[in-house]
Amino acid sequence: MKISTYKFLACLVVLSCTVLSCKDLTELNENPNGVNPETANPNLVLSTVLTETGKAFVNLGYQDIAGVMQHTQKDGWVGGHNEYDWGGSQSWAGYYDILRNNQYVYDRAVELNFELHQGISLVMKSMVFGLITDLWGDAPYTSALKGAEGGTANTFPAFDSQETIYMGILADLEKANTLLSKNAAEYTGAVGTADVYYAGNPMKWRRLANSLMLRYYMRISSKKPAEAKAGIEKIMANAAQYPIITAIADDAAMPFAGNSNEDSWPANTVYDAGASNYRRLKMAATLVDKLLAFKDPRITVWANKVQIPLVVDASLPAGTDRIEGGKRYLSPDKVAGRDVNTHPEYVGLPTAIIGGPTYNLSPTAEQAANNPHVSWLNDIYRQAKGPLLRARLMSAAEVRFILAEAALKGWAVGDAKTHYEAGVKASLDTWGVGGGYATYIANPGVAYEGTLKQIIEQKWIASWTAATEAWFDYRRTGYPELKAGPQAKRPVLPVRFYYMLDERNLNRDNVDAALNRIQTTTYSEADGKNSPWSKPWVLQGTTKPW
């Protein structure tokens, strides 16, 4: 029986070789529905790089870093958002995933001589590595993304200094500027719909590259002032060679498709039936109070009015607490010793307070409560997509405020007042309230005063939903002057993320070497060197932000 079976199998092999000409088994095993990385069009991966980067930026700038920078606060599940109780929970794994995909795009573009793709991937490499070093400090850079090559040095890469990473980013952006300098028709390999930022427009990508150079030169301006000054002046001295973003139409702002939770605005209620993620985010008192003081029209776009304003009336009988005509009327004895905000329209949640869910006499102590006496976010943030719901990675407003700061330093970039006012206008235009610019720019506190505090304060306001960049500005300038709340983990704001536990366990020697280069502070003593209150290179010796 076995002999007969073997003869049958032998005949089958011979027959197969005859019919199929005994083709190489690797050819026979090709998946007709799969993608061969050796021959794939880089567009198949580029779209993932762009969308995942956009999501990464908005998930920081709209979520916990918006809490650090006091754009928003939570009244439920508050630890990371309000109190900076991170505990090493942040991970850079997702960012390195993006970088690995981006490296594939670049390598394939080099093989195919697709210079447009090369330029785009260098911009994205700079943006994501910039985010990593901004958040953590020293990190794997020159030895990163080489795990497939094998070897201990590639599997457990050394951490480059933050200075090395910043300088490498600037060099890559310079290279990208050259690669992106041709007219669209001169490039081979169209990008098309894969480019969800600029639809393959090389000039817009070139403007982004040079605008990012402005960002990172300013980032290192306290540590390497001569290099920063020379770099920014070089860009501004030659607009033809170094075009930058000056119009909101050129902003790097990614829209959301809104087809599923994965491609939608975060914390929307379309894919969160209970709306808990939306409900727990409230406007922060720090931002609301500033917007009200400046009579800022953007508040109407970002926030809802309180559903039921509080009215404390001394003429009411003791014990009065009633709702009438859409307002809650209270006698003074009902609010004695309580922190009550009676603004008739907008009320923000104070920073890291005890009892956030019950603030302002909320009738329920439920986590992420339906508190009718504080301002919720505008209803547009309930949606999965919309014209204003974009991941904002770089804007004309940011560029103008960078140049206003540079001019204030005395660098040859033009007039500080002109740049400042252009930055304010760009932000108002972005949010659809540009018609109120003339009135707004004349308001006390907004009218140009020629101070760094004012420039950074307006830049902070303009960074709504993109608060991560405001955090990086705060660290190097100390503005806006923010205070940690009573429940915060430390009495001052943090300045970096912890190195995560997995990295410390698996790549211990290189993590320890990086920690030996970090500066401990009086606020990091409880954590040791690996603390959000330890200072990375960019802040060491600057006395900022505290």
| Nearest alpha carbon to residue 120 among 186, 190, 206 | 206
Q: What pLDDT does residue 29 have?
A: 54
| Residue 297 identity | P
Q: How far apart are CA 59 and CA 98, in angstroms?
A: 15
Assign 30 a pLDDT band (cuts: 50, 70, 90).
low
Peptide linkage before 480 cis (omega within 30 of 0)? yes
> Does residue 227 surpass a pLDDT of 60?
yes
Note whether 244 and 397 are within 8 A (CB). no
| Residue entry with tokens 């990464």 | 56
What pLDDT does 13 receive? 36
Cα 222 to chain center, whole Å?
22
Count of CA atoms in the C-beta half-sphere (13 A) of 260: 1
Q: What is the CA radius of gyration of the chain?
A: 27
pLDDT digits (tens, 9 = 90+) for 399-438: 999 999 999 999 999 999 999 999 999 999 999 999 999 9
41/506 Cα distance (integer angstroms): 35
Mean pLDDT of 300-308: 98
**What pLDDT is recorded for position 31?**
56
Pick the more confident residue, 221 or 149. 221
Strand ranges of the sheet holding 321-324, from the earlier edge strand across to the other edge: 310-312, 327-330, 321-324
Mind spelling out the 3-state secondary structure of 439-452?
A: HHHCCCCCCCCCCH
The three-state DSSP-derived secondary structure of 466-506 is CHHHHHHHHHHHCCCCCCCCCCCCCCCCCCCCCCCHHHHHH
Return mean pLDDT, the chain: 93
pLDDT digits (tens, 9 = 90+) for 321-345: 999 999 999 999 999 999 899 999 9
Higher pLDDT, 87 or 452: 452
End-to-end C-alpha distance for the chain, whole angstroms: 86
Structure tokens of 199? Answer: 């639809």
Integer Cα distance of 520 and 536 in angstroms: 9
43-79+88-257: CATH number: 1.25.40.390
Can you tell me the mean pLDDT for 49-65?
A: 97
At 10, the pLDDT band (50, 70, 90 cuts) reads: very low
Distance of CA 242 to the CA centre of its chain: 25
Q: For the chain, give the percent of residues with pLDDT over 70.
A: 93
Domain with CATH 1.25.40.390 in the chain: 43-79+88-257
Residue 304 pLDDT exceeds 80: yes
User: What integer is the mean pLDDT of 185-203?
Assistant: 95
**pLDDT(185) > 60:** yes
The candidate with the shortest Cα–Cα distance to 174, out of 200, 125, 198, 209, is 209
- Alpha-helical (H) ranges within 220-327 are 225-237, 276-280, 285-293, 299-302
Find all residues with CB under 8 Å of 534, minimum gap 6, and list them.
Answer: 495, 496, 518, 519, 520, 521, 524, 527
Provide the phi-psi class of 22: left if phi over 0, else alpha when psi is between -120 and 50, else beta: left
Among 176, 180, 167, smallest CA distance to 231 is for 167
pLDDT in tens, 115-137: 999 999 999 999 999 999 999 99
432-443 burial by CB neighbour count: b if 16+ within 10 A, else e? Answer: ebbeebeebeee
Check: pTM over 0.85? Answer yes or no.
yes
Bridge partners for 391 per DSSP: 254
* Assigned token pair, 167: 């300088």
Are the beta carbons of 84 and 526 closer than 8 angstroms?
Answer: no
Least confident of 23-32, 183-192, 296-305, 370-379: 23-32
> Beta strand 327-330 with 321-324: parallel, antiparallel or unpaired?
antiparallel
pLDDT at 69 exceeding the cut of 50: yes
pLDDT in tens, 444-482: 999 999 999 999 999 999 999 999 999 999 999 999 999
State the Cα–Cα distance between residues 524 and 518, nearest whole angstrom.
Answer: 11
Rounded-to-integer distance, Cα 172 and Cα 178, Å? 10
Residue 273: the pLDDT is: 81
Give start and end residues of each alpha helix (H) in 29-182.
43-61, 64-68, 79-82, 93-112, 115-136, 152-155, 162-179
- pLDDT computed for residue 33 by the predictor: 53
| Rounded Cα gap, residues 49 and 505, in angstroms | 28
> What is the distance, to the nearest Å, from the Cα of residue 352 to the centroid of all Cα atoms in its chain?
22
Give residue 87's pLDDT.
85
Residue 291 predicted with pLDDT over 50: yes
Alpha-carbon torsion (383, 384, 388, 393), positive or negative: positive
Contact present, 236 and 217 (Cβ < 8 Å): no
pLDDT at 27 over 90: no
Which of 516, 437, 473 lies closest to 161, judged by CA?
A: 516
Q: β-pairing, 72-74 with 310-312?
A: unpaired
